[in-house]
Amino acid sequence: MAEHNLLGISGEQEAINYLQSKGYQILETNWRWHKAEVDIIAFEKNILVFVEVKTRSYNTIINPEEAVSEKKQSLLIEAAEAYCESNQLQNEIRFDILALVIRDNRTHIKHIEAAF
């Protein structure tokens, strides 16, 4: 497996651990709908949160959160609508980004709530 794939897998696990430590209830990971994939779907209290995780090593040109394009945002919104419809959920929803930078075996997490 390519190194960037391993970094992404590691970052997603770090993100899950972080969210759980903050009291989030993880419902799904890597949930797919057509061309979209939602990294994490969780409840925070009564809010259904769709989380995009972006992990980078310390030597990247852009910050991880800058990699969430408008197209990606549109796909996530469509996937969220499909998830809510298929599970008959009418909760308030929110889209968060977890931007992780891994350097020297340490992870810095930036949690952007209601990112879009």
* Whether the Cβ atoms of residue 77 and residue 95 lie closer than 8 Å to each other: yes
Which pLDDT belongs to residue 88? 97
Task: Sketch the domain layout of the chain as residue ranges.
Answer: 3-112
Confidence bin at 34 (pLDDT 50/70/90): very high
CATH code that applies to domain 3-112: 3.40.1350.10
Res. 8: pLDDT tops 80: no
How would residue 105 be classed by pLDDT, with cut points 50, 70 and 90?
confident
Positive or negative, the CA dihedral 4, 43, 105, 55 is positive
103: confidence class by pLDDT, cuts 50, 70, 90: confident
Which sign, positive or negative, has the C-alpha torsion 33, 35, 40, 45? negative
| Lowest-confidence pick of 5-9, 26-30, 71-75, 81-85 | 5-9
Q: Is pLDDT at 63 greater than 90 in this prediction? A: no
* Cα–Cα distance for residue pair 100/107, rounded to 1 Å: 6
